[in-house]
Amino acid sequence: MTRATSTIPFSTIKFIDNIPRLSDLTERLTQKLREIRMELNQREPDRMTAGRAQSRYDLITDVDTIRIKRRAMRYLERLHNSTGTQHLPQRDEALLTPLRGGLPVARIVTEHEADEIAAALHAEMPWMAPATEVVWHGLRASARRGLLGLRFDPLVLVGSPGIGKSYWARRLAHHLEVPTTSIDATGESAAFSLGGAQRGWGSASPGKLMQTALRERHAGPIVIIDEVEKSGDVQSNQGSRHTLTDALLPLLERMTAETWECPYYQIRCGMSWVNWVMTANSRWGLPAPLISRCIVLDLPDLTGSQLRIFVEAQGTGRGLPRVAIDATSDAIQRAIAAGRTPSLRTVSRMLDHVELQTHRQLLQ
């Protein structure tokens, strides 16, 4: 089933085809003035004495030429200013062409559609029920209110490494049929990775948020920020400091996100349909302003039965033979009995290895 979409006016910039060159516009205005004066002379021949007959080139004086050029320059300046991209080099203007006509966002049409998405996600990862429930209610509300796109409250998923927090977010995006972009908050420049850096910084570039909108031509991706509690700050060449929280706060508020300004392109963009899933290994280190704007969920460690459910679902989905699925489950059970409960990441690698070995056997 293909998800319904709506197109929103993503940015305030205006695209104008075939902006004339100054020389062409000047020539056009000069020709028009020449035609007007020739017509006037023909209608009022008494204005021209026999000794002062003018050729068509003499109808335009040097003063006229100066005035025409000034008027053409003022017109082109107003035209360029109306686009909102007059400050950008041509290369950057070309990179923004995907924004022409707006961008689509995924839409939930009925509450039943929201129920189906939540049920499918819960069947895959039942231990993530608290997170799935928050999204489920958000999707139902989006359908009930007839919103142009889908929304749910920003999430911070707190739990031990390897329980599938980021994987759950990617599976959610799969079921919603929206693109994703991931940011590692432990990176030194996480704030710039998200929003971008304006010219003047050592690494000026658009952020992943803007890059995703342009590359995927979509205004409602899911942004996944891993280990958000470990984010640091960065310092510009002029000495000012910026944190990931500074970059996040205006994007988490719907009203300010509607008119968010890209630091690199310096244009306003509608980021209010972006949805956010952040992960953390503990609550310690989470900034208070971030906590106040998100739903923070504490998730338990995985149990053996939950890991077996995951192996069963993944093994069946990958087309693994029953003996391979059972062998993987037995290996997990033995590890748990020895006091070494594997993470979801480890189990996924086990399944990758089993799948590879199974296909090798089939090729022999």
Domain boundaries along the sequence of the chain: 22-86, 103-298, 304-363
CA distance to 33, 57, 59, per residue, from 49 (Å): 21, 17, 15
Q: Is 233 helix (H, G, I), strand (E, B) or coil?
A: strand
- In percent, the amount of the chain with pLDDT more than 70 equals 90
Residues 335-349 pLDDT 10s: 988 888 888 889 999
- Strand intervals (E) in the chain: 4-8, 103-107, 155-158, 180-184, 196-197, 205-206, 222-226, 233-235, 241-243, 260-261, 268-269, 275-280, 295-298
Residue 233: which pLDDT band, with cuts at 50, 70 and 90? low
Q: Provide the pLDDT for residue 190.
A: 83
- Strand intervals (E) in 141-221: 155-158, 180-184, 196-197, 205-206
Residue 237 · residue 201 · CB < 8 Å:
yes
233: which 2 tokens?
């700050």
CA distance 273 to 149: 7
Which of 103, 69, 99, 104 is closest to 83 using CA atoms? Answer: 99
Strands 103-107 and 4-8: antiparallel
Question: At residue 297, what are phi and psi to the nearest 5 degrees?
Answer: -115, 130
Residue 145 · residue 134 · CB < 8 Å:
no
Fold of 103-298: Rossmann fold (3.40.50)
Q: Is the pLDDT of residue 53 over 60?
A: no
Q: Provide the pLDDT for residue 177.
A: 97
Tell which phi-psi region holds residue 94, choosing left (phi > 0), alpha (psi between -120 and 50) or beta: alpha
CA distance 344 to 103: 36
Residues 264-311 pLDDT 10s: 999 999 999 999 999 999 999 999 999 999 999 999 998 888 899 899
333: which 2 tokens?
């059970």
CA distance 310 to 329: 10
Residue 195 · residue 262 · CB < 8 Å:
yes
Q: Which span out of 234-238, 256-260, 321-325 was modeled with the highest average pLDDT?
A: 256-260
Residues 130-168 pLDDT 10s: 999 999 999 999 999 999 999 999 999 999 999 999 999
Q: Is the pLDDT of residue 75 over 70?
A: yes
